[in-house]
Amino acid sequence: MIRVGLPGATLLRASALAREVPIASHVLDYAIRLVLATHPDRPGAPKVTTSYVRYGASPRGAQALVLAGRIRALLEGRLNVAYEDIRWASHPALRHRIILNLQADVEGITTDRVIDELLERVPEE
């Protein structure tokens, strides 16, 4: 089955527009804290991270999280990024950027479960 997508020029304009969607400093700070919470060697890292994460998401993870949040805000018809956009984008932006340890494998802990717990533990403000 062949599906027709957006014309290339339209896609490029949409991509440029998404990068222009503003994000408030407190929402950006939340996205950064969420990514930093994936690092097990960071002081104050959540227990789920120290127990099950070998390597946390890189700065590119934060960039992907913010860009996906901007795209979601546009798709939802909003002119700025909200906390809910960051939460919505967290799984697709971070799941492949977090490397779990052997203990997680033994206990059947998934990256999605780690992200779920981080979303519960990392305060928005």
Domains along the sequence of the chain with CATH: 22-121 (1.10.8.80)
Q: Classify the C-alpha dihedral 111-117-119-123 as positive or negative.
A: negative
Q: Where does the chain have alpha helices with state H?
A: 8-20, 25-36, 47-52, 59-75, 83-94, 102-107, 111-121
Query: How many CB atoms neighbour CB 3 within 10 A?
Result: 4
CA distance 62 to 28: 9
**Which amino acid is present at 32?**
I
The C-alpha R_g of the chain, in whole angstroms, comes to 16
Report pLDDT digits (tens) over 14-53. Answer: 778 888 999 999 999 999 999 999 999 999 999 999 999 9
Q: Taking the model in full, what pTM does it have?
A: 0.89
Q: Are 28 and 124 in contact (CB under 8 A)?
A: no
- Quickly state the pLDDT bin for 123 (edges 50, 70, 90): very high
